A = this chain, B = another copy of it.
Amino acid sequence: MTSGSAPCVILDKPQLAENIGAVARVMANFGLSDLRLVNPRDGWPQERAWASASGAEWPLNGARVYDSVEAAIADLQLVYATTARPRELQLPVMGPREAAANLAREAAVGHATGLLFGGERAGLETADIALCQAVVTLPIDPRFRSLNLAQAVAINAYEWRMTVDTGAPPIFREGPPPATAEALQGLYEHFERELEAAGFFHPPEKKPSMIQNLRAALARARFSDQEVRTFRGVVTALSRGRGRVLEKLARQRAQSGE
C-alpha cells in the first residue's frame, strides 16, 4: 500500500500563536505539512508562531487562512473531528489509532483527508462537527481532560505516521548477531573452570544446578560474538589477576630476601 498524502490539519479558532507554532512542529515531526487556520484569534501571520516552531517553518509558511470550517474543508473527501466532549450527533466515534488507519486507507486511494481540531477554550461547535464523517476522541483520563492543542495534534499525527511506517522502529545500528550456542558454551565452560578453581561450587552436589542457573541467567542477555570475547576477557582478567598478584608477591619476597 502506498501511503498517499498525509491528512491536513485544520485548526478552528486557535487562540495562541505559540500553540500554532507547536502544532507546526509536531506536524513536521510526523511528516504532515498542510496546515489550515480558521479565524485565528489574533490574526495571521504571527511572529510568535514561527518562534515556537523550532524551525518547522514550512507548515506555517504554507498555512492558509479561512473564515469558516466549511470553507477550510471544502476540498476534502474525508474529515474527522477531534473532540473530548460527547455530542448528540449520530457519528461514529473512534480512537486515534482507528482514525489513522481509516485516513491512511483513504489517502492510499487518492482521497484528500483532514483532521479538524477546536480552539483551546471552546473546542468545536456541534454544527462544524456535523460536517465531518466521524469523531475522534483520545483515551484521556476522565480526572484530567484538559489536553493541550498541540498534544492532541501530536498523538493523531503520531498514529498517522505509525500507519505509514512498517510498524518496526528504525534500527539504530545493525547490531552484531547473537553468538552461536557453541561460542556461548565456550564462554560458560571457561567461566565454570575458573569458578571451580576458585572454590565457588559448594556443596559439590549442587554444582549442576548452580551451573544451570548461571547459564540461564547469561543466556537471557543474548551475547554477541564480541561480547562473548569481552566476557572471556573478563574471566581471564579476574583469574589472571591471581597470577599477577603471585608474581608481584614472589618478586617482593625475592627482593626482601625471604
Which A positions have Cβ atoms within 8 angstroms of B?
22, 25-26, 28-31, 54-56, 86-88, 90, 93-95, 97-98, 135, 137-141, 143-148, 150-151, 154-155, 158, 161-162, 165, 167-173, 175-176, 194-195, 197-200, 210, 213-214, 217-218, 220-224, 227, 230-231, 233-235, 237-242, 244-246, 249, 258
Contact = CB atoms under 8 A, between A and B. Distances in A.
28 contacts: A25-B144, A25-B148, A25-B151, A29-B147, A31-B141, A56-B146, A86-B172, A87-B172, A90-B175, A90-B227, A95-B162, A135-B172, A137-B170, A139-B161, A139-B170, A195-B234, A197-B241, A198-B240, A199-B241, A200-B233, A214-B234, A217-B223, A217-B227, A220-B222, A221-B221, A235-B238, A238-B238, A246-B249
Given A172-B86, A241-B242, A162 B139 contact: yes
B237 A200 contact: yes
B195 A55 contact: no
Contacts of A224: 90
How many copies altogether?
2
Contacts of A25: 144, 146, 148, 151
Contacts of A95: 162, 167-169
A150 B154 CA distance: 10
Contacts of A151: 25-26, 29, 150-151, 154
A199 B240 CA distance: 10
A214 B230 contact: yes
Contacts of A197: 241
B198 A241 contact: yes
Contact of A86 (B86, B173, B233): B173
Contact of A140 (B29, B218, B238, B244): B29
Nearest to A222: B220
Contacts of A28: 141, 143-144
A29 B141 contact: yes
